[in-house]
Structure 1
């Protein structure tokens, strides 16, 4: 039983760290330590709860069973909040050509984001960071459209926050996988560089982690671009996170 609790606790820790990472990053940048403290507190509690000691007595078994149920309930509540769901407008319609659908969505977003930015005196990379040549086949197109949705979320947030420019957008090669012995956590990441006032960058980051579906922030670096600190650059990685529910079931984390 205590091994089951430990397994669920460690899985819960991984999920919770993903959930709180955006808040922790914002806190470390803008002097709000609440998010970081929340992650540390969760980590201490989960690790303590997952440690296995000597053979438990009936009372310890009862407590472990209650804790296991509590952790399962917590995970069941958290998973829908962080698991990425691809919107219809960034999906391939049933029976449609994947290659053609990709071109149509890319052109739509270039019109909305690139031309829209120019209209208000901003700049966004023309290709939106998408791969050249275009992806082919259903799987490649689905991955590219997922990345394009991340781009749409970030660029829209940046323009709404009045950043001066989105300087670069880049897709790392291949989705990242974070799992022990499998693909429990899979991230589709996009790297961005933008610049503007500290307030505009702050508002961009806050909008990215506050929207739906939830996106994770990672590797955020902010640097002053002038002596008085009124202009900053921001490099960051933003990722859509998906969790393999079949593996969670196999690990007995979910029913």
Structure 2
């Protein structure tokens, strides 16, 4: 077997070392404020670069890759181990983290007043976004989905669990709620002086509408055998 090659060069402020031993190769270069190291051992490769305020590290061992970059106020880290990937980026007031392990993905982004988080574990997904006065949350676990949106005076929530769906929207003076559980559906809408509620449970339907001085209520208790729908209106 050949002897490993070792080369050391010092020219001013630069030093370079190359070592090759079997399947390993190492290179270190320092020029002023920069340092670079490359190591390859079988399936592993590591690179570190530091130039001023920047540092980069890449490590690949089998299915794992790690990258770290720091330039001023930015830091990036990527980790891939089998099915797991993590990325962290911080630039000024922004931070992003992505983690994927199997069926899970997590993303966090904070830029000024905005924060976003996404979590996916199996059948669950959660997203939270806050930009100024807006917040969005989405959660999906099995058959359930929840969404909350707050923008100024508006709030929206959607929940789906099995056969149930609920939606709440508040924009200024308007509020809407929809709930569907099996055969029941409820809707409430309030816009200024108007309020509407619809509830359907089995064969019953209730509608209330108030607009100014008008109020309407429709109740259908059941569908008679003759097919006529009895309604009571007040």
TM range, smaller chain:
under 0.3
Higher relative contact order (CA 8 A, sep 6+): 1
* Higher share of residues assigned strand: 2
Greater CA radius of gyration, 1 or 2? 2
* Higher share of residues assigned helix: 1
Normalised TM-score (structure 1)? 0.20
Normalised TM-score (structure 2)? 0.21
